[in-house]
Amino acid sequence: MSDSVSVAAEQGELAGRALDDGGSVFAGIPFAEAPVGRLRLRPPRPPRPWQGVRDATAFRASPAQNPDPWSPPDAVYDEDCLEVNVWTPDVHGRRPVMVWIYGGAFESGSAVPPGTDGQWLMRGGDVVVVGFNYRVGALGFLDLTGIGGESWSGSVNLGLQDQVAALRWVRRNIGRFGGDPDNISVFGGSAGASSVGCLLAMPAARGLFRRAILMSPPVARIYAPATARRLAADLLDTVGVHRPEQLLDIPVEDILAAQAKIVPADMGARALPGGRSWGPVLDGAVLPRTPMQAAEAGDTAAVPLLIGANRDEMLAAEAFMQPGTTPPNAGALYDEIAGAVGEAAARGLLNAYRAAEPDATPTRQRLRFLGDRLYRVPAARMAEAHTRAGGTAHRYLFAADLPVVGPSHGMEVALVFGNHDSDDNPLAPLYRQWPDSAALGRQMMTAWSAFAHTGDPGWAPHTPGTADVRVFGAPGPVAEPPAATAASWRLAAHPATVPESAG
């Protein structure tokens, strides 16, 4: 049995677990009170201290959510989930800290292994790795400020408020685990990267971290208050209650069932004009500006960025498309894209996609557009705005042609964490088929951890108008967006929030 390791945290003493290959882990540490009962759908409250020694050797629950096909079969879900996990090479010392924020479209995800297991990155990067849970779905992003009266004025962007509470805990406590509280980097993928972007724009998060890494950031998928409040009203109606306080007595399973009924499954229907889903709301208080607005205003300039996306973000989804979510013909595809970016941009983009893949179906072209619209272009625009306002941004593109999935959404995460070859990773057989996986993983882990140590991942920071994007898994550097589509994306409409209608 592994030896116990002790740390005296702010709330009390913890008994962690030494890992067989070096370092130790402290799991299931509360950073806020459990958001249950009267605290459901309320902002996080500071954690209570405990008496004696708290067992921190075992991981606990993931946030309450509707499991997806990738969820571990033995996963445990609970509203009592606001906990942090720490992997450290040594509780003594002062190492850089890397705080991971998981993705999952803001309605799923977990800081519990195997999805988040920081031990390989901890050892390979000589860093302290932290993962924490935040509330997702309706429990984390229901906006009750417009329908609940003054007593519900703080109940918006609860998932983002959880993240700030977790970072405050890290800032106050991580020195006790061998981390440097003055050298904290936040990093996240997909919805986690969008979260990082929101943290950059949130006054409450200012000063809680030094550097930021955004991996495939859908930072343009921010919802207007009117959209969010209609979604909240629909949830109450679907559950069968009239007032927010009645939600406190509803079984969580009923809320989860209702939240799945009132948002579309298709990503385009969530993020293109008229779309809605669970996620950040531009409420004016918790989130007063979008990440892009904050970058353009210079609010993010003091925080160095490492930012990028994957070449074929959405293409792997083609094999899993549901009936009715694909355009019936080229005309319908053009109408959808034109409604999102304008006719001039739509013509140029479709011409470029057709030239690159003459035999591509409308479905494949749509997925190419969605991948660019949601991830690649926002990453490029965020880096450009941040740099022009005086900040530093190192840019990358993941382009490794992995078997079956290629360089699709999220495929770089396991390489950064170093668990791509772990038996707990369901995609390990695919990574093992690609002969360069081990070397590529070392490259990415080295770059990410070097950025956390010094702010320099190993290549020059971005200079506007240059092809300086570091490519992982293919020759580079390159320009982003690619030259074939760059002019069209410059013509495209880029609204601050997801438009409420195509008109």
Active site residues: 190, 313, 409
Residue type, 439: A
Beta bridge partner(s), residue 471: 397
* Nearest residue to 388 (alpha-carbon basis) of 298, 321, 449: 298
* Nearest residue to 14 (alpha-carbon basis) of 61, 46, 51: 51
- Quick one: how far is CA 67 from the chain centroid? 17
CA distances from 250 to 93, 145, 159, 243, 257 (A): 47, 19, 20, 12, 12
Residues of the chain by 3-state class (helix, strand, coil), percent to 5: 40, 15, 45
Return the HEC string of 217-228. Answer: CCCCCCECHHHH
CA atoms within a 13 Å half-sphere pointing along the CA-CB vector of 463: 6
Residue type, 111: A
Helix (H, G, I), strand (E, B) or coil at 346: helix
Residue type, 329: N
State phi, psi for 188 to the nearest 5 degrees.
-155, 160
* Nearest residue to 148 (alpha-carbon basis) of 242, 280, 231: 242
CA angle, 8 then 82 then 189, to 5°: 105
